[in-house]
Structures are given as C-alpha cells and as structure tokens.
Chain A
Amino acid sequence: MSRLAKDPASECWLVELERPDDFDAWRDKARIFVQAGVAPASIVWSEPGASGELFGGGRAGLPLPAPDAPIVRANRRFVSLARNAALHSDPQRFALLYRVLWRLQASPRLMEDKADLDVRRLEELDKNVRRDSHKMHAFVRFREVEDAQGERYVAWFEPEHHILRANAGFFVRRFANMKWSILTPRGSLHWDCETVSEGPPAERSDAPDGDPTEDLWRKYYASIFNPARLKVGSMLSEMPKKYWKNMPEAELIPDLIAGAQRREAQMVAAGALDFEDRPESLAAIARAIEGCRKCPIGALNNQGVMGEGPQGAPLMIVGEQPGDQEDQQGRPFVGPAGQLLDVHLAKAGIDRSAAYVTNTVKHFKYVQRGKRRIHQSPSAREIDTCRWWIESERAIVQPRLVLAMGASAARGVLGKTVSITKARGTPITLEDGSELWITAHPSYLLRLEGEARDRQSELFDADLAAVKTRLDEMSC
C-alpha cells in the first residue's frame, strides 16, 4: 500500500474482459499484474456490459512486469477451482480470484486453509457453478421440431451463471448424432452433428412450444411417484422452483401433492384398518378372505370359510366361526353344531337353503394338541377385525332379518358385546332397517347335558319360532 501512495499514477488499473467466462484471458492478465507487483486493491476487473466509467478513470492497458519478477505460482487446486469460479455471475469474482492468486505467492499452501475467508468464498463460487452446470445437464428439456433440414431438438434454459459454453462438451458427447440448439438469455449454442456454433442471447419465445412426447413423459412422471411417501422438502431442495417453468412435468406437481395428501387423509380417517373398497360380490369376498390375514387367525394353517346361501335371502344366520370340519370342507355349518342347527330349523319350519348362513369370523381358530386341533374362541379384537367381511356380506345379501347365534355373532353384527340372556326374544333394529335377533349358539346346546340341555333347547326353539313368525310377517 505504501508503495502505491508514493506513486499516485498507478493508483488504479482497469481491466476489461471481453467475455464474462473467459478464464484464460483473466489468467494471462493476472499473471502480468502479479509480476508487476500490482496489489489486488489497485485493480478493477470489469466484464462486458459493466461500464468501466463507473469505477472512475482507471488506467487501461497492462503494467510492465519487473525484469527480475519471479514466475507466478498457483497450485492445481487453485487453478481448477478458479476456472470454474470464473463462470459465476458475481461481479466480484475476478477480483477475488486475483486476491487469492496474489496471496498464494506468499503463502503457497493457502488453499489448504479451509477456514480462510477468501478460500471459503472461492469454494462457494465453485460449488454454485458446479451445481448450476449439474442442473443444466439434468433439467434441459429438448423439444423436437421439423425444419427444412429435418428434425432438430431445441431447448430453452435459464442458467444462473455463465456456464453455457463450458457445458457444450457434455451435450456434444451425449447427443452427438442429433442436431440440437440450447437457447438461453445469456447466449445460444448450436450443434449440427459436426461443429458447435455460438449465437446471440435468445428469448423464450424463440424456442418451440410443445412436443407430443411431453404427454408421455408427464404420464410417466405422475405414475412413478409413490403418493404414500410424500417428501416435498427433499424434492424442493434438489429441484428448486426456479427451474420448474421450463420443465414440462413440473406443472403436475401441485396436483400430485394435493392428491397424495387427500389420499393420506382418507386413510387416517378410515382408522387403523385400511381395508380397501368393499368387495362387490360374494365371490369377491370369498376370494379376499382366502388371502385375508388382517388378524392372526388367518395365519394359522386353515382356509377361509365363506357364507352360503342365495343373495337376497330374507334371513341371514350368523354363527361364531368355522370348526374343524367346516375348515376342512370349506363350508359353514357342516359339523355337529350345523347338524343340530338343521334339526331345530326344520322344527321351526325354516328352510335353511333359503337362508344365507355364515360365520362371524371367517377362519378356524384353534390350538394344535398332537394330531387334534382344539377350537379356541376368537377374541373381541379378532371379531372386530373380521366384522369388515360380515358387513360386506350383509351389504350384498341385504337380509331383512339377521339371526345372530351366540355372543360372538352378536358382537360381529352390532360391534359391541351384549348379554344373550337379556337380548334374546327382542329384536334390535339395525341401521339399514333390518332386524337383528339374538339367540344362543347351537354348539352351546351340544355342551350341555340332561335337564339343562332340554331347557336351553326349548328356549332356542322358542327363539327360532319367533323368528319364523316375524319372517312371515315381513314377507307379506
């Protein structure tokens, strides 16, 4: 500094660069300035477009290096960073490059000092430029156009820094046999399969407008996205909005996000059990319960047992769960309890084949004892899980009267536990207008003996008779 104070004539040098991205020109000049001992504060670097007068009348031209000036040193790390940083749009970049170059002469290992502010800024510029170049490689979208010379691919892109020329090679290597142009507000590049030529800055309207392939691409973009995993933040950090306007797929983003949130909300509203839409036919239910593992019973070695009977049956009879024989035959009420039920139904004058007969829980719950499978009662949770299927069956069969046999069946239909003793004999009207009648389960009768069994059988018959009467009333 003191040297300059003694020599006011050399106070300030003005260096005008012809191109904003011309690192080599900067380097040639910078070398001379260093050799002439001109300190960083005494040079104003200006690029085309910036007016030199702004800085006051600095001296143009180049200083004369001292005859004994040592050669200028810069390590490879500096050169590679500087070459890239020179493409940055920061007007101060060349000054920074020069300052670091200047300091490198005295401290050759400066680049290693990552805590140094100049070094950090240089690295930052380099990083921004690399990122911008990377985004250009990624986000340039060509559109196909036909002209007199055949097909040509044209893209419009808005880089943040002076990276266009530096990245020509990438596109040449990739699209060597394709005629293409990349138009930007900072200039344009054209490739005719042999040479690259440069053109003036372009406007968006110079680029073509659409390409039918974009519909396919948008379809792909919308379909490959998994709405169950919305992560908008990470998308935005990699694909900032400023790039969106030139990417045909980006217009879909708001709707994709809104749609995903809606679907997520629906799932939450549907509660913990995210069953799919209700099956539309009994056959579909049969298929679905075969693979159903919504509760642990389904994972036992057993098969789903579907209800049986005509769709539209006025009476639906609901038991507890399939037993060993039902599981083996895949049909409801074929074991001992089913046989007993048949006897009582006949007595009451109810035609089983006109009724729809099913179970609360669709799979056989058991524990294995040696070769035998011992029946286990389903838990309330299992019953509640399996309700989905009973409800689906009811929705399709649409019985006018539902006869629930046993506490499990009552819970399966009502969704809450009721006492058989209290509930039997009085119908409960269900939401869809049908009536629920509750009685004991025939297997309960099977477990009793003697007088107790007789008494319960009578009660059971009485319930069935009442059901029969009610059914007759309903049918006329």
Chain B
Amino acid sequence: MGAPSIIERLGILADAAKYDASCASSGTAKRNSKGSAKGIGSTEGMGICHAYAPDGRCISLLKILLTNHCIFDCHYCVNRKSSNVRRARFTPQEVVDLTLSFYRRNYIEGLFLSSGIIKSSNHTMEQLVETARILREEHDFRGYIHLKTIPEADPELVHQAGLYADRVSINVELPTDSGLTRLAPDKDARQIEGAMGKVKNDVIEAKDARKRFRNAPRFAPAGQSTQMIVGADAATDADIVGKASRLYDNFRLRRVYYSAFSPIPDASAVLPLKRPPLIREHRLYQSDWLMRFYGYKPGEVMQATEADGNLPLDIDPKLAWALKFRERFPVDLNCASREEMLRVPGLGVKAVNKILASRRHRTLRLDDVALLTQSITKVRPFICTVDWRPVMLTDRADLRALLAPKQEQFELFTA
C-alpha cells in the first residue's frame, strides 16, 4: 500500500481536528497585501466565516492537525495512542501549500494548526512553528494564523509561535484538575497554566514594546484562547464557569471555548456513555456572554444554576437568573439605568442602546418597545412603560413554564 495521497491525508487530519470548538479568526491587527511585492492576504479586524457546516459551525480557517500520531493517551481524545484511528501526517510545506491554494480561492481566512505529539513536545512544536514561518517569511502571508501550542514545549518555541501567529491557544482540556489527572494522565494542570502565564506575559511585553518602538515585533495580536471539554467528567456548570472566570482573570484570555464532549470513534470507555446535550454547551456560551457583555459576575451566573450546580437546560441563564431574583423586576424602561435594563431577559445590548437613544425623544410605550426588541412577549413580564405594568411577578408560579421555549421539533431538512 502506497503512502496515502494528499486528499486522503487531508480527510484524516481534518477529521481529527473537528472536535476542536474554536474557529474564530477575529480580533487581530489589520493587515493587507497591497503594496507588498509578493504577499497575499489581509485581515480586517473582524474575521469572515467562509462557509458553514451542517453542524452549524462556521468554517473560517483551514483547521487541521499536522499529524494525528500521538505519544500521549488522553481518554477523551480520538488521537490518543491507544486509539485505532487511521494515522497520517503532513509536512509543514504541504500544509503551507494547502493553505495558500485554499486562500487564493477565497475559501478561508487562514490556518488553524494543531498537532498530535510526535517524538517529543519540542519536536512537534518546532514543526508547527516551521509551518507558520514558511507562510510568513517565504510567502509573506498576511492572513490569519492560529497555532495550538504544546504546553510541555520549550517556552522559547512557544514564544516563536506567538511571533508568527495571530493567536495562540493552549487547551486546559478539562474543568477540574482531578478530571485532567484521570482522563489525560500525560498532562499536567500546573504546566498548562504555567504556559498560559508565560504567553500572557509575552503579549503584555510586546504591547509595551510597541508603544515605545514602532517596529517592535507583534506577539499574537489576537491574544490567546483556550478550550475546555464539557461533559466528559463530573464537573458542574458552576465549576466550569468558575474555572473560566479564573482563566479570564489570570491569563487575560480572549476567549474560553467549550466543546461538548461528543462521541468519538473508538472511544475510550472511561468516558460517559452518552454525550451531554449540546444545549449544555450552548448555555455555557450564553453564560460566557453574560459575563463578557452584560456585566454579570461569575458568582451571579452561578446563582442561576440549579441545585445540582448546572444551568437549567430549558431556559437561558439570563432568564434563570431573573426568575430567581424577581424582586429586581419590573424594570421601568423610561428611567432605568443601562445596567438594570441589561438584566431584562430578552433585551440585548443593541436593544438597550436603542431604548436609551429613543427615550431622549419620547416616553416609551409598550408599542415602541415592541419595535425595538426581538420579542415583546419575552420582555413584557419584566418591564414597565407608561402604559404597561405586569402583574406582580412573584404571583406567578408558572412564569417559567410560560416563558420556556416550546420544545422545538427536530429540524427536517429538505434539500
């Protein structure tokens, strides 16, 4: 049997990368190739999703592994040593060629490269860095590069990665240290966090240097992110939110991604029998939003969890919080502060901005609010306007049932 063709290997190595949740290509420095002698590519701050997969996720980067051979044996990972999946590997040059030919056809914004660990962490990291180097130095590639770094690798190599990449990420893998010990016996929580701390410092130093010298090299201008697997161990949503907020604080992460553990072929049996509902991952992302854009403290998100420490699945965390703190409602939209309005279930940041702008011109009635919001039915029980005041919230024991979205039907697809 000959060596598998490029297309076969692409299949294997993209397949192996599909469990990674992060895909974003946004938030980096603006660049373009105009005026450059041979360069290609641009970034304009906001990333572009070039396609969407039927799993609803966007495709903005060529997301592949350099190789899915791995000397580690992490149970949740399809590439672990003891798994029976087909193995393949690319050379850095092959990845470069693929990236460029996809980029030229406008399929992608850039490359997201990760790898199983081959030979040693350093060897692997060198290969990742080499791929980015060829793209940047030999082809003057100005598109987006995200490198997944190997925490055990020499910090100098990780530093190199940050000089070529827009973003670097280091997976914390699991929300609790005990989960990590059990499911990723070869990984070490202290080492992972140590590597994150180092990247954080490099980012800060490079920013400082750029303030003083225009030409100081940029270091990972899109910052660092991480990913946590949800549902592979017993960690509750409260544990997860707590972990995420510590990571945001300690390492100034741009994003924490959650990846609902999903059944992987040749699964290790330490894993739970069923995948956690995807909706749980969704609720965690919603809680992340609440913290990043709505001013909720991690403790407040945790207040929205139920007795078992998990966020309710039938309603979103904002509504869950509001139902627990009914005394804070109704909010009078004609005089409430921005912060108070942001707590109203169904009012997003945009709607609140519109309300603030409009109420300088008129005293809002319920009809006006209906024009400014997505769904007035959702909002109505929590607000008052000149012509509207809801019945006392506390009187309604069935409010949750009334507001929980109806069970949606399985989306049948007619192509």
Chain A interface residues toward B at CB < 8 A: 109, 112-115, 120, 134, 137-144, 153, 155, 170, 172-178, 211, 213, 215-217, 219-235, 238-239, 247, 249, 253-254, 256-258, 260, 267, 272-274, 276, 287-288, 291-294, 298-299
Q: Shortest beta-carbon distance, B39 to chain A, in Å? A: 6
Counting CB contacts under 8 A, is B154 at the interface?
no
CB-defined contacts of B262 to chain A, threshold 8 Å: 226, 228-229
Q: Shortest beta-carbon distance, A214 to chain B, in Å? A: 8
B82, B267, B273: the one within 8 Å of A272 (CB): B273
Counting CB contacts under 8 A, is B2 at the interface?
no
Counting CB contacts under 8 A, is B186 at the interface?
no
Q: Shortest beta-carbon distance, A249 to chain B, in Å? A: 6
* Cross-chain contact B357 with A276 (CB below 8 angstroms): no
* Cross-chain contact B14 with A144 (CB below 8 angstroms): no
**Looking across the interface, which residue of chain B has its beta carbon closest to that of A211?**
B105
C-alpha spacing A220/B411, complex, angstroms = 25
* Cross-chain contact B40 with A112 (CB below 8 angstroms): no
A115, A211, A224, A254: the one within 8 Å of B63 (CB): A224
* Cross-chain contact A213 with B265 (CB below 8 angstroms): no
- The 0/1 profile, CB within 8 Å of A marked 1, for residues 350-391 of chain B is 000011011011101000100110000000000000000000
| Number of residue pairs A-B, CB distance < 8 angstroms | 205
* Cross-chain contact A115 with B49 (CB below 8 angstroms): no
Known: A142-B104, A220-B62, A233-B56. A176 touches B269 (CB 8 A): no
* Cross-chain contact B362 with A113 (CB below 8 angstroms): yes
* Cross-chain contact B10 with A173 (CB below 8 angstroms): no
C-alpha spacing A287/B80, complex, angstroms = 14
* Cross-chain contact A276 with B106 (CB below 8 angstroms): no
CB-defined contacts of B306 to chain A, threshold 8 Å: none
**Looking across the interface, which residue of chain A has its beta carbon closest to that of B414?**
A254
Q: How many residues of B contact A (CB 8 A)?
A: 74
**Looking across the interface, which residue of chain B has its beta carbon closest to that of A239?**
B52
CB-defined contacts of B59 to chain A, threshold 8 Å: 221, 224
Q: Shortest beta-carbon distance, B349 to chain A, in Å? A: 14
State the main secondary structure of chain B at its contact with A: loop
C-alpha spacing A23/B218, complex, angstroms = 39
Provide a sorted-by-A list of 12 A–B residue pairs whose CB atoms are within 8 angstroms.
A115-B364, A138-B51, A155-B106, A170-B44, A175-B40, A176-B40, A177-B33, A177-B40, A217-B102, A224-B18, A229-B278, A239-B51
**Looking across the interface, which residue of chain A has its beta carbon closest to that of B365?**
A115
C-alpha spacing A228/B57, complex, angstroms = 12
**Looking across the interface, which residue of chain A has its beta carbon closest to that of B102?**
A217
C-alpha spacing A361/B63, complex, angstroms = 42
* Cross-chain contact B368 with A115 (CB below 8 angstroms): yes
Chain B interface residues toward A at CB < 8 A: 6-7, 10-12, 14-15, 17-19, 32-42, 44, 48-59, 62-64, 75, 82, 98, 101-102, 104-107, 260, 262-263, 265-271, 273-275, 278, 354-355, 357-358, 360-362, 364, 368, 371-372, 411, 413, 415
* Cross-chain contact A176 with B39 (CB below 8 angstroms): yes
Q: Shortest beta-carbon distance, A337 to chain B, in Å? A: 27
Q: What are the 4 tightest A-B residue pairs by CB atom distance, in nearest-first order? A: A231-B56, A234-B56, A254-B415, A173-B32
CB-defined contacts of B48 to chain A, threshold 8 Å: 134, 137-138
C-alpha spacing A228/B276, complex, angstroms = 11
Known: A228-B262, A294-B269. A219 touches B14 (CB 8 A): yes
Known: A220-B14, A260-B54. A174 touches B41 (CB 8 A): yes
Q: Shortest beta-carbon distance, A185 to chain B, in Å? A: 19
**Looking across the interface, which residue of chain A has its beta carbon closest to that of B7?**
A219
A109, A138, A233, A274: the one within 8 Å of B50 (CB): A138
C-alpha spacing A231/B360, complex, angstroms = 41
Q: Shortest beta-carbon distance, B62 to chain A, in Å? A: 7
Known: A120-B371, A229-B56. A293 touches B50 (CB 8 A): no
Q: Shortest beta-carbon distance, A78 to chain B, in Å? A: 14
**Looking across the interface, which residue of chain A has its beta carbon closest to that of B372?**
A114
CB-defined contacts of B368 to chain A, threshold 8 Å: 115
CB-defined contacts of A274 to chain B, threshold 8 Å: 263, 273-274
B14, B54, B372: the one within 8 Å of A235 (CB): B54
* Cross-chain contact A238 with B14 (CB below 8 angstroms): no
**Looking across the interface, which residue of chain B has its beta carbon closest to that of A272?**
B273
* Cross-chain contact A177 with B36 (CB below 8 angstroms): yes
Residue in B105, B260, B362 whose Cβ sees the most chain A Cβ within 10 Å: B105
* Cross-chain contact B268 with A232 (CB below 8 angstroms): no
CB-defined contacts of B105 to chain A, threshold 8 Å: 141-144, 153, 211, 213, 217
C-alpha spacing A232/B18, complex, angstroms = 17
CB-defined contacts of A221 to chain B, threshold 8 Å: 51, 53, 59
CB-defined contacts of B57 to chain A, threshold 8 Å: 226, 229, 231
* Cross-chain contact B63 with A232 (CB below 8 angstroms): no
B6, B49, B360, B364: the one within 8 Å of A216 (CB): B6
Known: A112-B361, A177-B40, A254-B415. A227 touches B55 (CB 8 A): yes
**Looking across the interface, which residue of chain B has its beta carbon closest to that of A234?**
B56
Known: A173-B34, A216-B7. A178 touches B58 (CB 8 A): no
C-alpha spacing A155/B106, complex, angstroms = 10
C-alpha spacing A174/B31, complex, angstroms = 9
* Cross-chain contact B106 with A140 (CB below 8 angstroms): yes
